[in-house]
Amino acid sequence: MTPILISTLSIEQLQISAILTYTDFNKPLGSVMSKDSQAQSAKPLYAKIADELTDMIASGVLAEGDRLPSLRMLSKSHAVSVPTVVEAYRVLEDRGVVTPLNRSGYYVKRREDFFQPPKPVRPIGSPTKIMQKEATQLVMTAAQNPGLLPFGAAVPSPSLFPITRLKSIMSRLLRHKPELLGSYDFAPGSMELRRELARRSLRWGCTIDPEAIVVTNGCVEAISLALRAVTKPGDIVAVETPTYYGFLSLLEVLGLQALEIPCDPVNGLSVDEFTKALRKFDVTACLLCSTVSNPTGATIPVKKKRELAELACRHDFMIIEDATFADLHFNGETLSIKSFDTDGYVILCASATKTTAPGLRLGWVEGGKVSDQISYLKRVSSIGQPQINQLVLAEYMASGGYERHLRQLVRTIRKQLDQHCTAIADSFPSGLTAVPPSGGFLLWLELSSEIDGLELHNRALSFGIGLAPGEMFSANGLFSNYLRVNCGQVYTDEIRTAYARLGSLLTDMM
Amino acid sequence: MTPILISTLSIEQLQISAILTYTDFNKPLGSVMSKDSQAQSAKPLYAKIADELTDMIASGVLAEGDRLPSLRMLSKSHAVSVPTVVEAYRVLEDRGVVTPLNRSGYYVKRREDFFQPPKPVRPIGSPTKIMQKEATQLVMTAAQNPGLLPFGAAVPSPSLFPITRLKSIMSRLLRHKPELLGSYDFAPGSMELRRELARRSLRWGCTIDPEAIVVTNGCVEAISLALRAVTKPGDIVAVETPTYYGFLSLLEVLGLQALEIPCDPVNGLSVDEFTKALRKFDVTACLLCSTVSNPTGATIPVKKKRELAELACRHDFMIIEDATFADLHFNGETLSIKSFDTDGYVILCASATKTTAPGLRLGWVEGGKVSDQISYLKRVSSIGQPQINQLVLAEYMASGGYERHLRQLVRTIRKQLDQHCTAIADSFPSGLTAVPPSGGFLLWLELSSEIDGLELHNRALSFGIGLAPGEMFSANGLFSNYLRVNCGQVYTDEIRTAYARLGSLLTDMM
């Protein structure tokens, strides 16, 4: 497969090719498209037919919902027995690209059905006291090496940020209001910024009072304050599994227990499983990314978001919703759980600079019924945020630049995601599974079961490649053969080479 | 008294006049100097003589250690009876300006003896669970009103900050390294800044490894992290009494108990009393300002600082030393407890911007034996501080500008302190006591016992004047008739008028 071929595909098509659903008798879809004839010739007939059909689906010749040729027709056209075609269709069904419909034949699955979930992972099902994980420590320390290729981070390339514009706003502020350097700004923070943040929350279906917003030192501090406001040591906090490792570290340092709730890589946290868990455990809070989750890229369907909001009210626990990546949803499905919050049970947290200017380091929180406590906690624990940083962002948002930038960023990262997926398909050995994220730039990969992600991380480190091994994303040591890959970096030869290197390392480890 | 007359006095002389030791039968020293003849004529003879002598002492005619005229000599020169002179000398002794020496007569007290401590305040002597104080809430909320005259804050006028220089450094950084806006900086923080901070700590007698420094969101966050690293809810933390109200709020939100240790307004925390308390209570940490304390301006003598460091080691508790105001000591006595720390029992915290550029919002902590935990806590709780803010400060420090600025600032605030003290002496009714601080710009005033500081705060607020009532500075409701006054503001007519207004309010309340 040549990159040129792939780059002509749309993201949706690439998602199909990038599903990377390998089985022991199949080449990856991407490789099929590369017409690797040597491998093809060694294949049984049914596999060749399956590959051919997959190819047609991937290239759009067979579109979503199309009926596949009948068994008889294909048997005739390919001069093979009907059982061979049956076997080929079974392979396609296993791959998740076609679906049988009653007795009327096989159909190309709709795009959303193509997502091939990793094997379902059942968390242990009991609250877990978090212990600082070796993996997390290692990776966080490694992440501070600026020379490292940041596959393990969760940041886009700095070149994707609107630096020139922000720099010019900041320079002008310095010229006209130098006194900003000399004055304190107290929590809850600059009203100019809080007004813009409230206005932006309309995109998430929220109508938020700027007075209830507290500006924080990034989203992580927002979540830390939210947890401190609603929990005490020993309390049980429900989290997705896999969940962002930073959440687990926060639970750890606050002496909280994590209750891992199973997640679907497409639909996110299982509300049904969570409802069952609520009957068994006294849950104080549920901490999750409802839209474009980290690490899976999953988004909870709107209906389920509403159910979660109702559940919180009925069972009297707080939802801490991290909306940091919500604006990066590819189809603009950004409705939040908070938008269904009628009684203040949802605390909305977000970064305000992660996708714009991480160097300004600003996040925010709307604390629902504990807004005042959160504001007090922030003021008592660190007074407030630098005012000039807040005003730069406020002005940028007020100018409309923020929205334009986000639209452009989403376009760019979708394209990049394609490029990264293609490189992975090209370079990694078979035996991995991935789920195209609903947005953002993170890819959650399941590797062959014999691969230890942490070991891969350690080996990759010596080649200057940073990784986020799956083990970090669970309190119970799950996901040891997973990786979260940062596809936010602009695709370059260096990145291509790095994937090739990772491919070799993986092959060595198998 | 005219400001011109007073402004010719040195700070030490003014300290005498500003001791403001009033009794019910005496006018303030300042007023004596103003030759308020109407009031004078109504006075008994002994009081007039006492005023005259006080005047001579204040103006330096009678110097420290000078012997006062004998009873007989003064009786003759003033044509009054010896008992009248005895009474006059008794008044002077009450005022704390003279001291009898055995049978050899009365002597002008040495300067340090002039400090008239407020009546000793005995804390309750048991650990106290902190409840959020109405006063603290009120004052912190009021402090966010930028239109308020900030007598209740603890900040110098913004015009005293090196804004032009910092602005130019920041503008240049934006021009040459705009990418700083796009990149994360992880705890422990920028090495450029940590190196400068470590170098500066030499002034405090410390040799600190930059690697052990964690840059924080101001000193308050440094202390918050230090407390979180070494305590768990319910633990006992020893504090000075009075202590900075922000410390009490921190103990409150962390569920800690405050053990208030008596303090001398000159020598700070009583190490002897503390030693006694250690026998009685299981103290986890001691949180204090050892040099130029907030609110009293006291500095613990070097010998006692060493004792404290040894005590921590012997009794296995951590000292959290806030050195924020240490650089503002008038005589450069800046040696820290940390400088005597041999086994990592002292956590040194400080602001890096309070006296330079509060708008950059940077503090730091060297965590002794818990440095790693503090660094981890910071990274987990809020990742890090904005890099550009750190680099501005680092460059300013490296250029030597920081030290020059501090020297100038100390000169300026000493002068301002004089001006504020004079205005207070001019405006406030009798019955108050103050202690000249060893440095900084905060003045701790004891008002007449019938005055309620919080009530005064509320009344002053309606005139646009912010105050810090004494009640905020104790967990046990002590100091209700005290005020902490911010003399960091450049003296202007507006400030003179505000003191006159406060004087009227006080008179109304008596």
- What average pLDDT does the segment A160-188 reach? 95
The span from the CA of B308 to the CA of B483, in Å, is 28
Beta bridge partners of B150: B466
Angle at alpha carbon of residue A310, lines to A308 and A316, rounded to 5°:
95
Give B185 to chain A, closest Cα distance, Å: 7
SS3 A497: helix
Q: Which of A96-110, A256-270, B49-63 has the highest mean pLDDT?
A: A256-270
B246 contact residues in A (CB cutoff 8 A): 380
Kindly provide the ipTM of the predicted complex, given to two decimals.
0.80
| pLDDT interval class at A103 (50, 70, 90) | low
Q: Are B301 and B263 in contact (CB under 8 A)?
A: no
More confident residue, A108 or B262: B262
The span from the CA of B134 to the CA of B141, in Å, is 11
Q: Which of B68-72, B134-138, B386-390 has the highest mean pLDDT?
A: B386-390
* Side chain identity, residue A391: L
Q: Phi, psi (5° rounding) for residue B450?
A: -80, -10
CA B300 to mean position of chain CA atoms: 12
Residue A31: is its pLDDT beyond 90?
A: no
A249 contact residues in B (CB cutoff 8 A): 380
Beta bridge partners of A139: none
Closest CA to A361 of A141, A145, A139, A155: A155
More confident residue, B171 or A25: B171
Tens-digit pLDDT profile for residues A194-249 = 999 999 999 999 999 999 999 999 999 999 999 999 999 999 999 999 999 999 99
- What average pLDDT does the segment A329-355 reach? 95
Instruction: Note the pLDDT of residue B7.
Output: 27
Domains with residue ranges and CATH for chain B: 8-113 (1.10.10.10), 183-401 (3.40.640.10)
Predicted model pTM: 0.80
Closest Cβ opposite residue A182 in set B137, B246, B357: B357
CB atoms within 10 A of CB A132: 13
Tens-digit pLDDT profile for residues A387-408 = 999 999 999 999 999 999 999 9
Instruction: Note the pLDDT of residue B146.
Output: 80
What are the residue ranges of helices labelled H in A231-270?
A: 245-253
- What average pLDDT does the segment B119-128 reach? 67
Closest CA to B420 of B442, B399, B405: B442
| pLDDT interval class at B90 (50, 70, 90) | confident
Instruction: Note the pLDDT of residue A34.
Output: 38
More confident residue, A14 or B406: B406
- What average pLDDT does the segment B407-420 reach? 93
| Rg of the Cα atoms in chain A | 24
Look over chain B and give the mean of its residue pLDDT values, rounded to a whole number: 86
Tokens of residue A458, six digits:
């350690």
Give B496 to chain A, closest Cα distance, Å: 23
Q: Are A333 and A302 in contact (CB under 8 A)?
A: yes
Tens-digit pLDDT profile for residues B454-509 = 999 999 999 999 999 999 999 888 899 999 999 999 999 999 999 999 999 999 99
B171 contact residues in A (CB cutoff 8 A): 171, 174-175
Instruction: Note the pLDDT of residue A53.
Output: 87
Tens-digit pLDDT profile for residues B60-86 = 778 777 888 888 888 888 889 989 998
- What average pLDDT does the segment B126-131 reach? 76
Look over chain A and give the mean of its residue pLDDT values, rounded to a whole number: 86
B185 contact residues in A (CB cutoff 8 A): 359
Residue with tokens 């624990």: A381
| A217 with B140: Cβ contact below 8 A | no
Instruction: Note the pLDDT of residue B121.
Output: 59
| A216 with B382: Cβ contact below 8 A | yes
User: How far is the first Cα of chain B from the last one, in angstroms, to the nearest whole number?
Assistant: 23
Tens-digit pLDDT profile for residues A370-388 = 999 999 999 999 999 999 9
Tens-digit pLDDT profile for residues A271-306 = 999 999 999 999 999 999 999 999 999 999 999 999
SS3 B108: strand
C-alpha torsion sign, points B191, B195, B196, B201:
positive
- One DSSP character per residue, B217-242 reads SHHHHHHHHHHHHH--TT-EEEEEES
